[in-house]
C-alpha cells in the first residue's frame, strides 16, 4: 500500500462534479455571444460541455492508490527504465484551451519497479486537470520519486498549445519542452545524456 504522505502534494477534489452549474454557465456564454441556446444545433450543447469537462478534468478525482493498484514489484534491476511517447491531452488553466503532446518518463529502480501501464495512467492523472505544462512535468516526476524511491527520475514533456496557435501570437509550429530531473539524472551528466539520447532517437515531429 502507498504511504499516505506520498499524496500530500496531489490536488485531489472529493467534492461532487456540478454538471448543472456548468450547463447553466455554458448556456449563459451562448446568450452572451448573441446565440440562441434553444435552437436545434445548440439545444444539447450545454449538456455536452458539462460531460466534456467531466471527462477532461477527471484527474482531480483520480485516486492514486487505485491507479497504482498494488502494481509495485521487487526486482533486482538497476538500469534505466524508460516509457516514451506517452500521448496526453490537458487544458491550459489560463484560457481553458487544450494543449497536447507526449511525455517521456524514465527512472532507475532501487529494488522496486512499477507496472508498465501505470506510468501512462500517472501522466493522465496530472494531465486531466487545469494545468500549466511546467507544473505538470514536475508533478509527474515528484510523484514517481515519492512512490518508488528510485535512484533517479527523469521526465520530459513536449506540448503544442492551442492558446498560442489559435489566438494571440498565432505561432502554429511552436512547441514547448519542459523537463524535471531527480537523483542520478540530475547529478550524473552521462545518465541524463543517455536518457535524452534515447528519447530523441527515431522521434517524429510533434504535430496535431
Catalytically active residues are 92-95, 133, 161, 163
C-alpha closest to that of 126 among 18, 49, 12: 12
- Residue 72, classed as helix, strand or coil, is strand
Helices (H), the chain: 19-32, 45-56, 64-68, 118-127, 133-148, 162-165, 184-187, 189-200
Q: How far is CA 166 from the centre of its chain?
A: 21
User: Which residues make Cβ contacts (< 8 Å) with residue 203, sequence separation at least 6?
Assistant: 85
Q: How far is CA 84 from the centre of its chain?
A: 14
Nearest 5°: the CA angle 177, 183, 184 is 90
At 144, give phi and psi (nearest 5°).
-65, -40
Helix (H) or strand (E) holding 82: strand 81-92
Amino acid at each position: 500500500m502507498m504511504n499516505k504522505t506520498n499524496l500530500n502534494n496531489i490536488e485531489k477534489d472529493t467534492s461532487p462534479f456540478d454538471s448543472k452549474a456548468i450547463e447553466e454557465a455554458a448556456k449563459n456564454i451562448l446568450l452572451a455571444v448573441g446565440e440562441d441556446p434553444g435552437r436545434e444545433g445548440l439545444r444539447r450543447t450545454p449538456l455536452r460541455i458539462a460531460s466534456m469537462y467531466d471527462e477532461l478534468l477527471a484527474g482531480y478525482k483520480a485516486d492514486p492508490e487505485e491507479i497504482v493498484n498494488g502494481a509495485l514489484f521487487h526486482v533486482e534491476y538497476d538500469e534505466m527504465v524508460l516509457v516514451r511517447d506517452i500521448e496526453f491531452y490537458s487544458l491550459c488553466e489560463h484560457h481553458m484551451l487544450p494543449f497536447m503532446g507526449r511525455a517521456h518518463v524514465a527512472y532507475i529502480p532501487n529494488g522496486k519497479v512499477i507496472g508498465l501501464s501505470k506510468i501512462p495512467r500517472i501522466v493522465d492523472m496530472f494531465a486531466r486537470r487545469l494545468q500549466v505544462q511546467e507544473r505538470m512535468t514536475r508533478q509527474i516526476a515528484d510523484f514517481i520519486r515519492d512512490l518508488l524511491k528510485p535512484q533517479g527520475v527523469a521526465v520530459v514533456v513536449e506540448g503544442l498549445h492551442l492558446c498560442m496557435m489559435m489566438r494571440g501570437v498565432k505561432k502554429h509550429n511552436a512547441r514547448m519542452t519542459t523537463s524535471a530531473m531527480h537523483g542520478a539524472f540530475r547529478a550524473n551528466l552521462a545518465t541524463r545524456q543517455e536518457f535524452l539520447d534515447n528519447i530523441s532517437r527515431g522521434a517524429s515531429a510533434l504535430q496535431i
